[in-house]
Structure 1
Amino acid sequence: MSLFKSASVVSLLTLASRITGLVRELLMAAMFGASALTDAFNVAFRIPNLLRRLFAEGAFSQAFVPVLAGTRAQEGDEATRQLVDQIATVLAWVLLAVCLLGVLGAPLLVYAMAAGLKQSPEGFDAAVVMTRWMFPYIGFMSFVALAAGVLNTWKRFVVPAATPVLLNVAMIAAALWGAPWFGRMGISPIYAMAGGVLLGGALQLGVQIPALRRIGLWPRIGLSRAALRAAWAHPGTRRVTTLMLPALLGVSVAQLSLLINTQIASHLAVGSVSWLTYADRLMEFPTALLGVALGVVLLPQLAAAQASGDDARYSALLDWGLRLVVLLAVPCAVALLTFAQPLVAVLYHYGRFGPGDVQQTALALMGYGAGLIGLIAIKVLAPGFYARQDIRTPVKIAIGVLALTQVLNVVLVPHLAHAGLALAIGLGALVNALFLLVGLRRRGAYRPSPGWAKFGLQVLAASALLAIFLTWAGTHVAWLGFQGAALTRVGLLALCVLGAAALYFGALVLSGLNLRQFVRQ
């Protein structure tokens, strides 16, 4: 399977995950509304979810995949199997301790995350109980991250990309069938959602097992102290642990930035946090479909090229990824900047979400759109460092960008309010991507292939035509006037999107760009 096809498969499965996630949120809102108990669930779910981002999908994956790919390229499959066994052994013991501490310390964790729940004893107690129910989720997801790293290194992208859908499916089932059953049993229905999270984690790990068995890499976990000591002494384990420390700092910086922006938004006009949240969910579609998919596919391939000393292939992989980012992210950014209001209106302008909310959310979406290219390019450029087992450089850049973002907040928020927060994130992402690119160039790791100037002009010309078309479509259709005719508005949006895609890619083909070059690579 070519890299383009692999990225396309990951992208489509990521889209399925985002769509089922949206269905999950809409269903929860319809069934449970907003109350102390729903706040309790969101807080309880956020605790293991935060740890998942910090440890499982974040720092662990960034450290594990390059070491795994390097071991396979340099030492062969048998050494790689031993590495997987040793890493899994250490991971199992660490997760057992973490989950026990999390269950016992749930009251302290809930208080640290949301002390305001103390105002509602029922809500605080429910959050503690659901935290205890859901804390083993971090254990499931850490092993899912290990399995995904192995499968992606073996170019088995489908199963890891499909597993997030299972969490959404489990939670949808919990809302539709579990919650009514809990109600009949005299138990608060919201607890069914905690059970759905735990079931979703188990399902995600369960589907990885057959895939790992097929390639002979289901790990053998040592259960004795001697096995733990041997696993900890393994050079690969030490290397992964060493790489995880700066990676943890880097992921923590991103979470800290989110926390700071949420705190600032909470002091702005009522609704600011929600407007940013709704815009962020829309912005996640292109970043996940393009950035995440490319990052997942490229990291193991870059690591293998680096380990084998194939500098030409390493550079070519980065060049292919960056050209694909420009080809697809530039028109998406143009759409967010010129067509934000129609997008927000079609998705959110129902019920209590009024025209003012559409306008404010659209402004935030435009702020994110200004930096969309940077947000997606980071997903290609950062793996270029991770593959070289250099995590410190991206972390240093991230810390500097965090400081820059706060300076931009001071300048922009007084004039643009919540949209200034979004624009600061977008501009910070552009700076982050630029510094990563410069770093790779200075190290000689990335050497741009010929033809970038012509390619850039072709994309800019097609994007200019796209901007004109979307601006016309955005101003000549009364997008806020179809509140009672949702299907009509959805149909118009679909026609505009199809027309925009035909115009953009048609202009590229007429300009002489060969789109097949991306598929062949």
Structure 2
Amino acid sequence: MRRFLQNGSSLLFRRQTNILSAAFVIMVTYGLSQVMGLIKTRLLISYFFGSKAAILDIYYAAFVIPDTLFQLLVIGSLSAAFIPVFTRYLSKSQSQAWYIASASLNLVLLAFFLLSLVIFAFAPFFSRLIAPGFNLGQISVMASLLRVMLVAQLFFTVSSFLTAIIHSHQRFLIPALAPIVYNLGIIAGTVFLSPALGIFGPAVGVVLGAFFHMALQAPLTFRLGFRPQALLDWRHPGVKETLRLMPPRALALGIDQIEMFVAVFLASLMASGSLTLLNVARLLYAIPSTLFGVTLGQAAMPTLSRLSSDSDQQAFRRTLVDTLLQAVFFALPLSILFIVLRVPIVRLVFGSRSFPWAATLTTGKTLAVLASAATFTAIMQLVVRAFYALH
């Protein structure tokens, strides 16, 4: 039994130095996460889509503003700035690397908290702004859901920094398991809390899932040596470099998020359920780019950052090209499959009495359009990380 536990611990904390082995670990766990995500969405549809399609639209609309804030402040700072800078300092001085980690986390948390206060206070205004087609009752529900989602994003902010630290040490299994417990939180909220709380059941599940997402990664981060420090040092060269690299990535993500704002704006003016169907199609569309773009990108990022730091441009180019070819090799056939078999796939995954044939056809058409871009999205995940590894 002791040897079994030791082997299990070794598997969880093992370092993956090869990009393909790291990508495989992330891919398998992300695949499980995608399955959990599909189960979660099917449950939400069965509980709310039938006669309550509008309430599920409100639930998805409430995600947009908190998610945009998270994408711009956190994802932008991590993928574009923090990991390359942290990796470079880690190879020279661990104490300085941990200092930068604490300072960067605290600055982002402070900015997130201040902006969240504004959004929390004026949630009805922001809700009306992005969903003008909702009536006053729907806006009130959306504003309340939006406030709950902000709490979840606060946990995600901390958790995403923990993920970046763990990835920089070339450990990938624990962070890849985190989305699974996040989806389990939403599933638990939907099943156990929805009978009493309605649509607020899955919303509370989002908060629980985000907390579990953070809690799962904290022990490994502490084991690697991270100790949070109460400091706000924006003058440190490493922190200044991190802040300098954030705006370009944040701008790119901001342009990306405009798509969701437009989608919610238009869907709120259309028939009930339109936003839900779009989100269902987006969930399927994201599978190729997540499995073969995000996974390879996350696995390659520490290696590319190290090669850039060592000024080994030939190895950098070779690693990038090989990884891009691998992403295309896997993502392209799956994207074509989603285009050709769009209706059977949607029906197989989501078909039920709560999800009628008309909804299946509409989702299938939407999926066909989105899937045509899936391979390019996978490539983008790699190219963006390579660009910032160079800087």
TM-score by length of 2: 0.85
Contact 2:68 2:254 in 1 (8 A): no
User: Structure 2 matches for 1:100-249, cutoff 5 A?
Assistant: 100-117=117-134, 119-121=135-137, 123-180=138-195, 183=196, 188-222=197-231, 228=232, 231-249=233-251
Residue 30 (str. 1) matches residue 39 (str. 2)? no
Q: Report the AA paired with residue 241 of structure 1.
A: L
Contact 2:130 2:264 in 1 (8 A): no
Q: Structure 2: where are the runs of 5+ without partners?
A: 1-15
Match of 2:88 in 1: 70
Instruction: Report the Cα distance in structure 2 between the residues aligned to 1:115 and 1:258, rounded to whole angstroms.
Output: 14
Distance change >3 Å, CA 215–CA 5, structure 1 → 2? same
Instruction: Report the Cα distance in structure 1 between the residues aligned to 2:199 and 2:131, rounded to whole angstroms.
Output: 18
Distance change >3 Å, CA 7–CA 263, structure 1 → 2? same
Match of 1:5 in 2: 21
Contact 1:45 1:134 in 2 (8 A): yes
User: How far off its partner does 1:192 sit?
Assistant: 2.8
Q: Report the AA paired with residue 201 of structure 1.
A: A
User: How far off its partner does 1:276 sit?
Assistant: 4.8
User: How far off its partner does 1:96 sit?
Assistant: 3.0
Contact 1:62 1:244 in 2 (8 A): yes
Instruction: Report the Cα distance in structure 1 between the residues aligned to 2:166 and 2:337, rounded to whole angstroms.
Output: 35
User: How far off its partner does 1:364 sit?
Assistant: 3.8
Distance change >3 Å, CA 255–CA 45, structure 1 → 2? closer
Q: Report the AA paired with residue 24 of structure 2.
A: S
Match of 1:82 in 2: 99
- Which structure's relative contact order is higher, taking Cα pairs within 8 Å and 6+ residues apart? 2
In the alignment, which of 30, 33, 41 is matched to residue 17 of structure 1?
A: 33
User: How far off its partner does 1:323 sit?
Assistant: 2.2
Contact 2:59 2:142 in 1 (8 A): yes
Match of 2:329 in 1: 327
For residues 338-366 of structure 1, give each alpha carbon's deviation from its aligned partner in whole angstroms, at most 9, with x where no partner exists: 43343234234443655565555444433
In the alignment, which of 64, 69, 94 is matched to residue 51 of structure 1?
A: 69
Q: Report the AA paired with residue 85 of structure 1.
A: S
Identity %: 24
Instruction: Report the Cα distance in structure 2 between the residues aligned to 1:189 and 1:158, rounded to whole angstroms.
Output: 34
Q: Which 10-residue stretch deviates more, 28-37 or 370-379?
A: 28-37
Q: Report the AA paired with residue 50 of structure 1.
A: T
Contact 1:59 1:251 in 2 (8 A): no
Contact 1:36 1:120 in 2 (8 A): no
Q: Structure 1: where are the runs of 5+ without partners?
A: 223-227, 390-521
For residues 137-158 of structure 1, give each alpha carbon's deviation from its aligned partner in whole angstroms, at most 9, with x where no partner exists: 2221111121111110101111
User: Structure 2 matches for 1:441-456, cutoff 5 A?
Assistant: none
User: How far off its partner does 1:281 sit?
Assistant: 2.3
Q: Report the AA paired with residue 177 of structure 1.
A: F
Contact 1:61 1:146 in 2 (8 A): no
What is the SS of the residue equivalent to 1:309? coil
Instruction: Report the Cα distance in structure 1 between the residues aligned to 2:317 and 2:71, rounded to whole angstroms.
Output: 29
For residues 228-266 of structure 1, give each alpha carbon's deviation from its aligned partner in whole angstroms, at most 9, with x where no partner exists: 3xx111112211111111111100111123444666788
Distance change >3 Å, CA 80–CA 47, structure 1 → 2? same
What is the SS of the residue equivalent to 1:296? helix
Contact 1:18 1:285 in 2 (8 A): yes
What is the SS of the residue equivalent to 2:171? coil
For residues 64-123 of structure 1, give each alpha carbon's deviation from its aligned partner in whole angstroms, at most 9, with x where no partner exists: 1111122223x3322211211221232333233233333222232222232433x243x3
Distance change >3 Å, CA 362–CA 57, structure 1 → 2? same
Match of 1:431 in 2: none
Instruction: Report the Cα distance in structure 2 between the residues aligned to 1:60 and 1:367, rounded to whole angstroms.
Output: 30
User: Structure 2 matches for 1:398-413, cutoff 5 A?
Assistant: none
User: How far off its partner does 1:6 sit?
Assistant: 1.0
Task: Provide the aligned C-alpha RMSD in A.
Answer: 2.7
TM-score by length of 1: 0.65
Distance change >3 Å, CA 329–CA 129, structure 1 → 2? closer
Residue 91 (str. 1) matches residue 100 (str. 2)? no
User: How far off its partner does 1:385 sit?
Assistant: 0.5
For residues 6-64 of structure 1, give each alpha carbon's deviation from its aligned partner in whole angstroms, at most 9, with x where no partner exists: 10111111122222122222222222342555444333333322222222224443221
Instruction: Report the Cα distance in structure 1 between the residues aligned to 2:271 and 2:54, rounded to whole angstroms.
Output: 23
Q: Report the AA paired with residue 328 of structure 1.
A: F
Specify the structure having the higher radius of gyration (Cα). Answer: 1
Contact 1:88 1:220 in 2 (8 A): no
Instruction: Report the Cα distance in structure 2 between the residues aligned to 1:198 and 1:90, rounded to whole angstroms.
Output: 22
Aligned residues: 373
Contact 1:140 1:201 in 2 (8 A): yes
Distance change >3 Å, CA 362–CA 318, structure 1 → 2? same
Instruction: Report the Cα distance in structure 1 between the residues aligned to 2:72 and 2:141, rounded to whole angstroms.
Output: 25
Instruction: Report the Cα distance in structure 1 between the residues aligned to 2:265 and 2:133, rounded to whole angstroms.
Output: 14
Instruction: Report the Cα distance in structure 1 between the residues aligned to 2:202 and 2:89, rounded to whole angstroms.
Output: 41
Instruction: Report the Cα distance in structure 2 between the residues aligned to 1:269 and 1:93, rounded to whole angstroms.
Output: 39
Residue 280 (str. 1) matches residue 289 (str. 2)? no
User: How far off its partner does 1:198 sit?
Assistant: 1.7
